[in-house]
Amino acid sequence: MIVQLCEIAQVRSGDKGDCSDISLFAQNKEMFEVFKVEITAEKVFEHFKPMAAGPVQRFEMENVLALKFLIDGALAGGASQSLRSDNLGKCFGSNLLRMKIDVPDHILQGAKCFRYPHS
């Protein structure tokens, strides 16, 4: 099933100079294996192309089932130069959650949903 990352993934982001630093967390090992295939550095670069020069580096953190992305040239010159409201890139992580990927149904069943449960 096609699912938007905001439904299933935890994320936190920050900065260093002009580089956005995003950690994306899967809920379990099976989901992490899907993330590794579906969320490549190339795909993340493509996702952020309208606002980042790149390149994108990816690190696999098996110990906490996370992918870390370093996106160069992403912060309009860095916090000390940027005119953006989000000059520190704190919300680059939530922007990554807009991405949609294909996850097998059985992995989604029983997974937590990270969207606010509107009644």
Partner 1 sequence: MKSVRIGASVGFWGDIFTSAVDVARYGDVKYICGDSLAELTMAILQKAKNKNPKDGYTKDVFPLMTSLLPICKEKGIKIISNCGGINPLGAMEAVKGIAKKLGLSDLKIAVVEGDNILDRLKEFGDKGYLGDIGAEHGGLWDKVLFANVYLGGKEIAKALSTGADIVITGRTTDSGQFLGPAMYELGWQEDDWDKIAQGIVLGHLMECSGQATGGNFSGEWWKVDKLGNLGYPVSEIYENGEFIFSKPRNTGGMVSVDTVKEQLLYEIHDPTCYLTPDGIVDFSTVKLENVGTDQVKVSGATGKPKPPTLKAILGYTAGFVGEGSITYSWPDALPKARKAEEILRQRIDMQGINYEEIHSEYIGLNSIHGPLAPEPEYETNEVMLRVAVRTSSKDEAAKIGREFPALALNGPPHASGLGGMHSIRELIGQKTALIPREEIEPLVKISVEEV
Binding stretches for partner 1 (CB under 8 A): 10-12, 14-17, 19, 21, 23, 25, 47-48, 50-51, 59, 61-64, 66, 68, 70, 76, 78-81, 83-86, 91, 93-95, 98, 112, 114, 116-117
Provide the minimum distance between the beta carbon of 68 and partner 1 in the complex, in angstroms, as a whole number. 6
Provide the minimum distance between the beta carbon of 66 and partner 1 in the complex, in angstroms, as a whole number. 6
Is there a cis peptide before residue 55, judged by omega within 30 degrees of 0?
A: yes
Provide the minimum distance between the beta carbon of 19 and partner 1 in the complex, in angstroms, as a whole number. 7
Residue 81 or 102: the one with the smaller Cβ distance to partner 1 is 81
Residues 45 and 77: their CA atoms lie apart, in Å, by 17
Residue 89 or 103: the one with the smaller Cβ distance to partner 1 is 89
- Nearest Cα residue to 107 out of 29, 55, 12: 29
List, in sequence order, the alpha helices (H) in 1-119.
5-8, 29-38, 41-48, 92-96, 105-108
Provide the minimum distance between the beta carbon of 65 and partner 1 in the complex, in angstroms, as a whole number. 8
Which residues are CB-neighbours of 22 under 8 A, at least 6 positions away? 11, 12, 13, 68, 69, 70, 71, 92, 93, 96
Residue 34 or 67: the one with the smaller Cβ distance to partner 1 is 67
Residue 16 or 42: the one with the smaller Cβ distance to partner 1 is 16
Cβ distance 18 to 92 under 8 Å?
no
